[in-house]
Amino acid sequence: MADSGFDVVSKINQTELDNAINQCSRELETRFDFKNTGINISKSEEKITITSETEERAKAVLEVFKEKLVRRSVSLKSIEVGKP
């Protein structure tokens, strides 16, 4: 009897990820509660970094980013949130 198996490879659509980051950035620039607060979201290779002066604002930005990912059909299972 032969052994059989398969590998599952899941990749994120990088274009959709970039679009979600760009949409999130634009929303952060225009929303009254985020204006002039020093919030930033950026991508480098395999990491997305959210910088903020307070942990609460960073969590709010994360929620906005997750919303944009869902709208772009990028699974939230594909991201891993680290400690602030």
For position 10, what pLDDT does the model report?
Answer: 58
pLDDT at 7 over 70: no
Asked if the structure places residue 31 within a domain, the reply is yes
Percent helix, percent strand, percent coil in the chain, to nearest 5:
50, 10, 40
Is residue 80, in this structure, part of any structural domain at all? no
In a domain, 1, yes or no: no
Higher pLDDT, 6 or 79: 79
Q: Is the pLDDT of residue 9 over 60?
A: no
Q: How many CB atoms lie under 10 A from the CB of residue 28?
A: 22
- How many domains, in total, are found in the chain? 1
Query: What is the average pLDDT value for the chain, to the nearest integer?
Result: 84
> Is the pLDDT higher at 61 or at 1?
61
Domain range for 21: 14-75
Read off the pLDDT band of 3 (50, 70, 90).
low
Domain presence at residue 70 = yes
pLDDT in tens, 23-58: 999 998 888 888 778 888 888 888 889 898 888 888
In a domain, 83, yes or no: no
| CATH number, position 48 | 3.30.70.990
